[in-house]
Chains A and B, each alone.
Chain A
Amino acid sequence: MPIDVNSNGEDVAEVNSREAKRPTTIQTGAYKPRATDAGVGKPPKHERKLTSTVWEHYEFLPPDKEAEANEFKFEVINTEVRNCMGSTSPFWNAIKASFTVGLISLTISDRYASISHVDGHSMSPTLNPSHKTFIGRLGVYVLHPILFSSAVVGYGFSCGSVDWASSLRLSHQHDTLKIREGHCWVEGDNSASSLDSRSFGPVPLGLAHGRVTHIVWPPHRIGRVERMSFHCRHGRAYLFDNVVNITVGEKEERLMMTGMHTVVDIFCVGCGASVGWKYEAAHEKSQKYKEGKFILERTTGYAISSVRGHILMAIIHIVLCGEGVRYKVYGPNGREYVNSQEAQLGSDTDEG
């Protein structure tokens, strides 16, 4: 009688008889690995659904013979055979899923964006406590000073790596200092209760963790956080070679953040308002560059117009106290730039 052989090289009749013996449904209950199987007592790992091979490798234990089952006792649940020993599958799946999610979120928050909590009142009213803010990472800038994790808005470093910041420390101790390359000056919006660069100095830019772009909680405050130009009382100050329409006061020794300086206050000739001061002498060697130069504070009623690419183009001081406006405009290298008698409010643009 010819023996039919199928593609696997097996006898067709044998295969048919074997198929006939296969139970059509899986019997639920206890299973035991077959002794005749080639020495393996564990289910094949890659086959969690042992629907077709359950009968091949494991034999069903009738209820009265359940005592025979050793540690490799299996239960059939929904045509999947799972090991009863050890943790149950849903728990293990949850652990694996949470680990994956954790890893992905760690990567995203490290590189692209993250959400951060706001503590403290140093950023009122822009950001109040119990806010959650969305931090975009692609712009660098802002956040995470050395010691604290409260959100502090960073401001004010211009592209040219040289900037001066004027700050009001305790009691009317104005000072300007040059911010080093690669550093920035951070301040909180609520300057009364904010521990910021006025205490710990300029902050290296590498510490900036990300830029706050949005507020995501609470719902009525969802929105974009605007980058604002500085409007505080003690804003930016500029160092000038030449200033006109001023009178000088008396010399005094003033202890500033950067050391002892001899300064004279300067006042507007029209109204007598203080517009800044002039450095007569600096006692520290590193501050000698300031000698003979003027500091004009931005919030004393004059307008500055700036042209992109230059830190400062011209200064127009507007005398608000009396009639008529006298001013002269000087460029940064001392040459006269424009001479006009009209009262004109220039545009106050920030170069940032």
Chain B
Amino acid sequence: MRNFKLWQSIVQEVSNAPMAFVKLCPGPSMLPTMNTSGSGDLVLADRLSPLLGRIVRGDIVVVRSPENPRKLITKRIIAMENDSITFLVDPQNSDKSESVVVPKGHVWIQGDNIYASRDSRDFGPVPYGLIYGKVFWRVSRQTLCCIFLWIHDTAFLLIVQSCQNPD
């Protein structure tokens, strides 16, 4: 068990390249933008945009969770600093809404599926420095399946060919 966790953290460290990285989004908090069937969608995110300040309202970003710094969560930016935002506190049970002004240096993130999302409505505005990357590409499940099948077929053909030619 310990070894597995060690390997997991190593793989996580290695896969967080300074340029772009790949992330799996298995949770339901971004439906219907991102699917959750199977193990979720694969997204590509780049790490340069937050450092250059090229984040605007409406971007989907990957953020280090303020509750658990080892976790990365994917949400959408609803408001930047000095915006005032009105949000529904608990849309499933009540109609209550609150207004808040996002302080300087912070952003307000929310999942697209507000009924099942733990976001800034729970833990408040998030410091800008916690933004880890900006999502720019989503690999749909169809594309993933096609790529996987292609790899599988190519590998199969190569193996068959090498068996036939006694090299």
Contacts and interface: CB of A to CB of B under 8 A. Distances in A.
Q: Do A and B come from one complex?
A: yes
Interface string A167-209: 0000000000000111100000000000000000000111110
Contacts of B126: 204
Interface stretch (B26-34, B64-72, B89-97, B153-161): B64-72
Contacts of B104: 147
Interface in A99-148: 106-107, 110-111, 140, 144, 146-147
A182 B129 contact: no
B105 interface: yes
Q: Which of A106, A140, A182 has the most chain B CB atoms inside 10 A of its CB?
A: A182
A204 B13 contact: no
A204 B128 CA distance: 11
A245 B13 CA distance: 53
B130 interface: yes
Chain A interface size band reads 10 to 19
Nearest to B16: A111
B114 to A, nearest CB: 22
Contacts of A180: 67, 123
Interface residues of B, number: 19
Contact of A207 (B67, B68, B123, B129): B129
Contacts of B105: 146-147
Given A146-B128, A207-B130, A183 B66 contact: yes
B127 A182 contact: no
B69 A144 contact: no
A110 B69 contact: no
A206 B18 contact: no
A115 B69 CA distance: 23
Given A147-B105, A180-B67, A207-B127, 11 more contacts: A106-B18, A107-B17, A110-B18, A111-B16, A140-B69, A147-B104, A182-B68, A204-B127, A204-B130, A205-B69, A206-B129
Interface of A: 106-107, 110-111, 140, 144, 146-147, 180-183, 204-208
